[in-house]
Structure 1
């Protein structure tokens, strides 16, 4: 189905029943990338699976690929569908978008799960930043040999837009950012999820957890020492940035957090 929002014709699918959950894919992917892992989310939730601007079946429009604008799209989708404070779960680019929904539109959502998304550009390993610097339209021919392009070419309304998407993603990744202050002021319960071999070191995600009041003291027998906002941290073993989204562990820890009492 398509929702006409913010000048965008956003494709989305709905799977399962239960409390609504918006699940956001990574860069150069689409909702389809969650594959078999989707079943772990739909077991207890109605999952709304959008394709972000320029990704999957959602055609690009004339504006930058900015996580803040993408977050505004998700807030508009929440309103369009009449969802009652859905939880928002995102991975990589989708994790950054989910975090921005929590920063910009906290009254519209329930809980947040932000996976494999650092809050400072300088937290990313230098060799990965160098690789990101090579993402542009000039890399389109090389990228056409990858599964990401195969998916894009199969479902995109305008497959010829692929170089333009690479240019926009490259420009977005080149921008510096530091969300330390915004994370410290988060007003929704948040779970941080990362692979133990992610594109940022585990120490970065521990640092973010500390901004939320976590990891500063013993949790106590009754959890009285845990962060007051209900925040949590999960470092998933044996995974990387490139396979976390497919792991049943991701769905398991995310949905466990979402089902906990407030």
Structure 2
């Protein structure tokens, strides 16, 4: 190899190292540089923060973690202070207590915002996170600037969950209960049962209770959702200042399989003022 070619090779190596340093592979949910714990009502809630700007809180679904939003962080952190958190008893937010409800988790997120000294935030919730977002807007209305909720339900039966989905959750519940009975010393199984069982006994939100939500809300669902379209529409209709977006050819995982639409539309919803479409405006 000619000696004069070595500087070019060295330069190429230096350039590639610089590019990697500027664009590292971020492990959301396991990033020591961005992560920390907040003491929240008897347990430590794990959270990570990315970017700067107006705060934006993401709330994940049942049995998941902040990793669920890996398709959203880079997009939204360009203009927002993105706050990811593992819900109580999920991810790194260990909670050994037996009780678990959506109301508890909504209050947890309120406490997290207080801990971070944030008066208000935009909120995106997926599945259980959508329920938590609705309850956060109901129980702590001053904390939510705008809410986007995808795949949320108001009660736990086959009118609010597709029968296949409900029966699948029920089957999982029985399997976890059997495993827990066989091995009482397995805390992981006990916790998994607690989290899954919540889907069969919570939430219990009446449509009229949603009337108290006054902030703009974007309700989202796939047209082949785990949540029937009729139920998703009922949620939107019960909220005074809401938009409804039903995504074609989509199931429950809208932030994953419809990520480009999902990100762009929510970004626009947060950026543009809410417009009440009434009267003759319905023709346009």
Equivalent residue for 2:162? 125
Q: Tell which has more relative contact order, 1 or 2 (C-alpha 8 A, sep 6+).
A: 1
Q: Give 1:256's match in structure 2, choosing from 243, 257, 268.
A: 268
CA contact (8 A) 1:40 1:248 kept: no
Deviations for 1:37-71, whole angstroms, at most 9, x for unmatched residues?
32222232111000011111111231422110000
List runs of 5+ in structure 1 lacking aligned partners.
143-159, 214-228
TM-score (norm 1): 0.80
Residues matched between the structures, number: 228
Q: CA deviation at 1:106?
A: 0.4
SS in 1 for 2:213: coil
CA contact (8 A) 2:76 2:82 kept: yes
List runs of 5+ in structure 2 lacking aligned partners.
1-35, 180-185, 275-284
Equivalent residue for 2:122? 87
Equivalent residue for 1:212? 239
CA contact (8 A) 2:121 2:145 kept: yes
Larger radius of gyration: 2
**Equivalent residues in 2 for 1:111-260 (5 A)?**
111-121=146-156, 122-136=159-173, 138-139=175-176, 161-175=187-201, 177-213=204-240, 229=241, 231-241=242-252, 243-246=253-256, 247-260=259-272
TM-score (norm 2): 0.74
Q: CA deviation at 1:83?
A: 0.8
Check 1:109–1:178 CA distance in 2 against 1; reply closer, same or farther (3 A cut).
closer
Separation in 1 of the partners of 2:189 and 2:267? Answer: 36
CA contact (8 A) 2:96 2:191 kept: no
Check 1:252–1:63 CA distance in 2 against 1; reply closer, same or farther (3 A cut).
farther
RMSD: 2.1
Deviations for 1:132-181, whole angstroms, at most 9, x for unmatched residues?
11233734999xxxxxxxxxxxxxxxxx6331222112321121524312
Deviation >3 Å, runs of 4+: 136-142
